[in-house]
């Protein structure tokens, strides 16, 4: 009989991908980050597409966390990585809505089973030193595909295992290629973040549209030129954001792409054509660094299934599994849902 892979099995497989040590009170992914506060103001048209509270036009307070995707115990802002932006919208009735996003436009699995395969392939292994034969004979003859370039000092990596897995599993290819091309942004405020999964936005007329969300930085996307990387400190993104916010707020525009009939809605491993209708839903103003990093943000739980009336999940299995996995992660590290409001004080 077919037994569904449980969220606990997925979480266990995920933990095996973490390189090195892990602290009991830290996140198993996106371990290093910076908490910030600000507000979101919807565009004029937003409320005509979705009834969710933050799209009605008044200013909605937010707590957000910029992060590096790695679960490495040691902070490495200067390494290529998938960056994250988790935003918590605080509603007037003390509930909250979370929107989690990352710099990749796709995920590397469609189903719970897929995820176990990818997680197993990604378990870090010692990086093989290049053999003379490969470097001098195979490379010049271009008889092999290039392995992902690893930053200096990295001795174990899941990258080569993932690249090999992608050779025989098409669903993980777009993710592997995007991850392999990841750059280091000059700032967490100079890169775009994608929520990846399809959600259903409910309009005031009851129309239900399949949608995908992306945060676009108002200052534009800008990576560190490779020749400048060596001079970057391991916490440069954190320090850059502190300095930036001491001067003025930074902004992101929330873009909502609307799927056409026939577009894949339950599969986060594929992206939609860029020609899809895209609506500007509003602006996120990141005003300042959170005063109490530990209490207000590091212990906070974000969950992609913490959805408000007006935004519903699609049938995406990975999205729904994440809803359970983040509860497990939050409970394990003693996190809370929303410290600013009573009633959401649990990890759920
Ligand atoms: C099955 C797929 C995935 C698994 C198993 C997974 C797992 C995790 C875990 C365990 C955490 C730490 C949670 C905590 O302790 O509170 C985390 C954090 C995070 N994940 Fe994922 N993740 C997945 C997919 C994704 C995707 C597709 C995105 C982006 C769209 C994403 C974005 C994030 C972000 C931004 C954080 C940091 C949240 C924060 O700052 O608290 N993850 N993930």
Q: What's the confidence (pLDDT) of residue 2?
A: 67
How far is the centre of ligand 1, averaged over its atoms, from the C-alpha of 33 (Å)? 13
How many Cα neighbours within 13 Å face the side chain of 108? 25
Say if residues 64 and 286 touch (Cβ distance below 8 Å).
yes
Q: Which fold has domain 7-108+185-332?
A: Catalase HpII,  Chain A, domain 1 (2.40.180)
Q: What atom of ligand 1 comes closest to residue 66's alpha carbon?
A: 40
Judged against a pLDDT cut of 60, whether residue 347 lies above it is answered with no
Q: What's the confidence (pLDDT) of residue 149?
A: 63
Q: What's the confidence (pLDDT) of residue 114?
A: 97
CA-to-CA distance for 294 and 316, rounded, in angstroms? 33
pLDDT in tens, 59-101: 999 999 999 999 998 999 999 999 999 999 999 999 999 999 9
Q: What atom of ligand 1 comes closest to residue 333's alpha carbon?
A: 15
Please, what is the Cα angle at 235 between 234 and 239, to 5 degrees?
A: 150
Q: What's the confidence (pLDDT) of residue 345?
A: 44
Judged against a pLDDT cut of 80, whether residue 228 lies above it is answered with yes
pLDDT over 70 for what percent of the chain? 89
Q: What's the confidence (pLDDT) of residue 126?
A: 82
Closest C-alpha to ligand 1, atom 3: 322
Computed from CA positions of residues 117, 123, 129, 135, in that sequence, does the dihedral angle turn out positive or negative? positive
pLDDT over 90 for what percent of the chain? 78
**Confidence bin at 21 (pLDDT 50/70/90):** confident
Judged against a pLDDT cut of 90, whether residue 348 lies above it is answered with no
Helix or strand run (H / E) with residue 288: strand 278-289
Q: What's the confidence (pLDDT) of residue 10?
A: 98
Residues touching ligand 1 (Cβ under 6 Å) are 10, 14, 27-30, 33, 65, 67, 84, 86, 100-102, 107, 115, 195-196, 301-302, 318, 321-322, 325-326, 329-330, 333, 335
């Amino acid at each position: 009989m077919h037994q569904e892979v449980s969220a606990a099995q997925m979480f266990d497989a995920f933990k095996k991908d973490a390189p090195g040590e892990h602290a009991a009170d830290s996140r198993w992914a996106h371990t290093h980050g910076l908490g910030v506060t600000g507000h979101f103001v919807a565009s004029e048209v937003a409320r005509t597409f979705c009834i969710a509270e933050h799209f009605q036009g008044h200013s909605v307070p937010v707590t957000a966390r910029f992060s590096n995707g790695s679960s490495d115990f040691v902070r490495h802002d200067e390494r290529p990585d998938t960056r994250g932006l988790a935003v918590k919208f605080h509603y007037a009735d003390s509930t909250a809505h979370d929107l989690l996003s990352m710099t990749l436009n796709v995920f590397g699995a469609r189903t719970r089973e897929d995820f176990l395969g990818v997680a197993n392939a990604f378990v870090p292994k010692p990086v093989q030193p290049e053999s003379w034969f490969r470097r001098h004979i195979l490379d010049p003859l271009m008889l092999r595909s290039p392995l992902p370039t690893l930053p200096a000092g990295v001795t174990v990596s899941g990258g080569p295992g993932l690249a090999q897995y992608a050779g025989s599993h098409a669903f993980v290819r777009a993710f592997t290629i995007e991850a392999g091309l990841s750059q280091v942004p000059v700032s967490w405020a100079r890169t775009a973040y994608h929520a990846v999964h399809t959600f259903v936005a409910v309009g005031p007329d009851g129309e239900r549209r399949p949608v995908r969300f992306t945060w676009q930085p108002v200052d534009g996307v800008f990576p560190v030129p490779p020749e400048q990387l060596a001079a970057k400190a391991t916490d440069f993104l954190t320090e850059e954001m502190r300095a930036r916010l001491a001067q003025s707020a930074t902004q992101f525009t929330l873009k909502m792409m609307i799927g056409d009939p026939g577009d894949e809605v339950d599969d986060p491993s594929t992206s939609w054509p860029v020609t899809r209708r895209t609506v500007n839903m509003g602006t996120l103003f990141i005003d300042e660094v959170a005063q109490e990093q530990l209490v207000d943000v590091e212990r906070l739980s974000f969950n992609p299934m913490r959805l408000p009336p007006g935004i519903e999940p699609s049938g995406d299995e990975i999205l729904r599994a994440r809803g359970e996995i983040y509860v497990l992660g939050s409970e394990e590290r003693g996190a809370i849902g929303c410290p600013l409001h009573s009633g959401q004080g649990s990890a759920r």
